[in-house]
Structure 1
Amino acid sequence: MPGGSSTMAQACPGDLGQDSAPPARRVGPPASAPRGDLMFLLDSSASVSHYEFSRVREFVGQLVAPLPLGTGALRASLVHVGTRPYTEFPFGQHSSGEAAQDAVRASVQRMGDTHTGLALAYAKEQLFAEAAGARPGVPKVLVWVTDGGSSDPVGPPMQELKDLGVTVFIVSTGRGNFLELSAAASAPAEKHLHFVDVDDLHIIVQELRGSILDAMRPQQLRATEITSSGFRLAWPPLLTADSGYYVLELVPSAQPGSARRQQLPGNATDWTWAGLDPDTDYDVALVPESNVRLLRPQQLRVRTRPGEAGPGAGPAPTQLAALPALEEAGPERIVISHARPRSLRVSWAPALGAAAALGYHVQFGPLGGGAAQRVEVPAGRNCTTLQGLAPGTAYLVTVTAAFRSGRESALSAKACTADGPRPRPRPVPRASTPGTASREP
């Protein structure tokens, strides 16, 4: 599916079977070898069925198999989410992608509660922190594969990981609050958050692997912790305190004459720009100055977030003009999951302005023709389970948001039930003449 943004994918029987998933493609030697620490965080709790866990496990194995793991280069780790976090293998244990894939496939579901927040805090303290042996100055990436729910808060511990410079990718297998997951993933969400049905995870393997490798390329300047008034820049160690220094340059894209410069020592790997204008593009340049070896400048464009109106300040005219459209923005990104022979689950991500919706109508009927049915879902909920369906059948599902203004906005998706036993037709009794017994031919 084109575009990595909040990807939704589903397949129907006959489209692309589970056994026909394309094999993991071997990645050739990149121009600049990646270096960093990659952690996979898997929901291994009882909220995930054994079948779903097996599909997720295979997906992670396909992701890691072609990666160039090795001492001093790229390292991988696997942590399970359950009642208590469990480390399947730590950074540095496996020196090849194939060995890591074997370890992933051999992992066992832990069951228990879904304490994702506890697992994130564990990851920060036991694996990503320098005090616990993490390598300073190398890129750090977290890939969290979840069914969308957690029994404890995720936001604060996830933010602490981001503050360490961890890039967060999230793969949701169809459930959960879209807005909460968008906030938990690294910005921009369209690059770091994927919604994919558990049977279609193979669709995003190559795209996600490429994004992970891009996040771990050496000599890569990156921006994190972007706010309306500033952002943090980070880069791998290119120099040492004795071999040179850095010059950072910040220029508003629309005002090339208003440059700000900062000189930093050669052992610096980050800098935070503050006091910037909201909703503004800035061109950033990192210039390594060294008389030992020639290093090319690195450039990046960063856009600050829109500002919030202060106390007593009215909204800007452009915000007023956009308000009606936001209030009547309909459902987005329909996701089909838990497909069973006679039921399936439908969830959707409401738009940011969709809080004004009075509720949702979910209408569904067989694509081949037949009577349509309708389910009412109250405002504040974004999922429902459709029951009484026919096995191995394609349905058209339409989610419609109803607003106070009387207007409606709808989005449709194709959904397919799993194959299953169909009811046998009941035999029709043969008519017989009164007083005589019917004879079989």
Structure 2
Amino acid sequence: MFLENLVNAFDVGIDKTRIGLAQYSGDPRIEWHLNGFSTKDAVIDAVKNLPYKGGNTLTGLALTYVLENSFKPESGARGDVPKIGILITDGKSQDDVIPPAQILRSAGVELFAIGVKNADENELKAIASEPEETHVYNVADFSIMSTIVDGLTRKVCDGVEQQDKDIKRDPSAEETASPPQDLVTSEVTAHSFRVSWTHAPGSVEKYRVVYHPTAADVLEEIVVGGTENSVVLQNLNSLTEYEIAVFAVYRSAASDALRGSEITLALPTVSDLEVYEVTDNSMRARWRDAEGASGYMILYAPLSGETTDERELKVDESVTDVELTGMIPDTEYTVTVYALFGEEASDPVTVQETTMSLRPPRNLRVTEVDHSSVRLNWDAVSRKVKGYRVLYMKTDGVQTSQVDLGPVTNVYLKNLSPLTEYTVAVFALYDAGQSEALSGGFNTKLVPAPFSLMTSQVTSESFQVSWSHPARDVVLYKMAWSPTEGGQEREIMLSGAVNSYVIQDLSPFTQYKVSLSAIYEDEMESNPVVVLENTLGWTTEVPTTFPSTTAFVHLGVINLWVDEETPFSMRVNWEVLDSDVEQYKVTYVSADRTEETVLVSGNRRSVILQPLLSDTRYKITVTPIYADGESAAMSKASIGKTLPLSGPSNLRVSDEWYNRFRISWDGPQFPTLGYRVIYQPISVSGPALETFVGDDVSTLLILNLLSDTEYSVQVIASYSTGSSQPLTGKGKTLLLGVKNLSTYQVLSSSLCAQWQPHRHATVYRVVIESLLNGQKQEVRVGGGASRECFFSLTPNTQYKISVYTLLQDTEGPAVTTMATTAPAPTQPPTAPPTTIPPPTIPPAKEVCKAAKADLAFLVDGSWSIGDDNFQKIIRFLYSTTGALDVIGPEGTQVAIVQFSDDARTEFKLSSYSDKEALLDAVQRITYKGGNTKTGMYLHPQTE
């Protein structure tokens, strides 16, 4: 729209204002030349249909391109009219704009620079003609470009008027811009050569020498004075052809180019550069030496522009194999080798290779999810892993928590928020850095409510409520009670350490509803649990008179509970209202053990009991000891139970093969001595086998198994005090055997077996056994075979055919089929002798009578041919061999090979020496069948 408004401001015509347009990005192109359109409507229509180009911003290249292609007579440029260039850009150029802009201005082109949005104003000023106040425009957005049309138009017209005056005043304006002549190159080296020319006529102000490699579009140029007629082009690539163009620059125009080319000499370079032994942080490079080199320089750097970690290595001329170290994993590197010749270096030889990635952990699994904790498990991937880093955060939060671990494959996360979605990432840590993340997530559960809520010690005015702690991180309990028939509800907050409370000041003969909820550290409150209880009626009590005493009354232990149970320990906690306890005596005993005692300081309220028996109930008593002694009446007792010996979990079977499979499992929460792995075949009889692995092992490849056999697998964790319950599973090896075994061509004394080959077979062992007398025949055939025939069999007898598949030294189970040979044929009565006419032998073709050659037919006998077509092949072979004259060493020898999965020689070159026997043998060839594998048999099969 901006261009359309701008064009509308001018009087366009072939003898008035001519308008051309070039669009540029990485490479400029002419949309239309100055003489492309002769009317304003045509120009506006072309503007409306201008296609968007896209690409990088190379403004300097575009300015040079316009000078060489737009402001030329053949493109519509006129020598006696003002020349205006209007540049529109929205960004900073990726190449240098100053030299090409200066040359364009020197050629008499008045330049206006319009920048939009992200344009660099300093660059615009460097491009535009002076004064910059009237030749530089910079707007904030494309939408407001129309605001500069009027001002730009006035300035362009002012420039046209001024240029027109200058042209009419300058007699040299009429001077023809003629190019220089006689381009000559000389003084050629590997990196430079001299360019010379004959001066152009007239007042030449400058000469522009533009050059670039023939195979590249990156232009370089040198500008010399109008009195110079040669220049040395330096810093060139060796053994490279350069295109050269020399322009004569006059006051208001530039000539056509004088063009030529030259090839620089070459320095010997290294050859056959390759990298090998690639790891995650290194690779080796080797090459073939360069003749005469004094040494080599190797540069290697990541291909990505995000880092400048380029490294340099120099070696003497005897070294052509080096190790490159300190690389970044999973990064593409360029490796460049220069041959050094004193202070000079040859052209570089470069290869690219990517380092191996640091493999991340696999198969993240979430278990033991609670309201404030979870267990994460994953599979290890490499022995190079030094440890793991676990990052986790609330999915809708910003604060990230981190746990760094050793080479273990599980972590127990605690102090989580309940009913919250978490995102987790697990990284493997290597010497070379950190792997990509194994990501996942989980949702914590709602905080648990108290359980086992019950009442006791009911009177007419009170009763006691007791409960079990739902979790260790309860801070408070909120208890509320009210009559079920209606009445005021009362509420109280209790310490998270208590598990009972006596509700008093109740009404007799009344049913009460009591609700209890747990409040946690993050102020989350559980759902309430409810219990109902009825108070008793009034009772008359006889007052009891107690003798007065001044003795101090001890209150003793008032609450006792057990938590943090493990298979070998538990923590005992208690509360006491006395402040003068000197010690606590903690006794604990199981059903079949002697009582044990531990003394605890009076300022403590908990103790860990260990070592204990796993999965065992203990009676625990805590007795306070005062200065005046201990009293059993002040003690408190409770029951605690240790956890069973935890076993492994999540048994997985993978990498199944014909004689092996891999099992993996997740270790238990508590450290073990190791694992017993027991495996035994299920589908066949066989002994149970056992192996033991250490605590740091969580995967095992079980070898030497039977093919196509299902195994039961048990993994048992071993502890110093016993073993866990077994983790059981099943695994099955693959079938090492053929499919679709069947028989065909079952005759009285022979039969053939065929099968679908096994893709990994190396050999087949084929056995046929008579069920009448047990006689056997056995043969071994190659892994590509799919059939075998047996002869000399007994008529009317049942046979078992077994095919065993071998993969290297591993033999699979037999695949069998049954077949019964046909009865022996009835012999016809002896016929009287008759005279049998000799067979008709086809006459030899005239062209073949002098033939003497060894002729071999390679015949496709695969299933795709079919019986009918195979008979056509036989007739073709019959007629072809029948056309021959002399058969045998003195004439033509014939051999025929039939192939499918494997080849079968029907007869050799030396088998027949007369035509009649050869033709008879051709007619007796039987159809083979199988897959088509032509390439395997295109080598001599005959003698």
Q: Given the two structures, how large is their TM-score scaled by the length of structure 1?
A: 0.37
- Between Structure 1 and Structure 2, the one with more strand by share is 2
Work out which structure has the larger RCO, using CA pairs closer than 8 Å and 6 or more positions apart in sequence: 1
Greater per-residue helix proportion: 1
Q: Which has the larger radius of gyration?
A: 2
- TM-score, normalised with respect to structure 2: 0.18
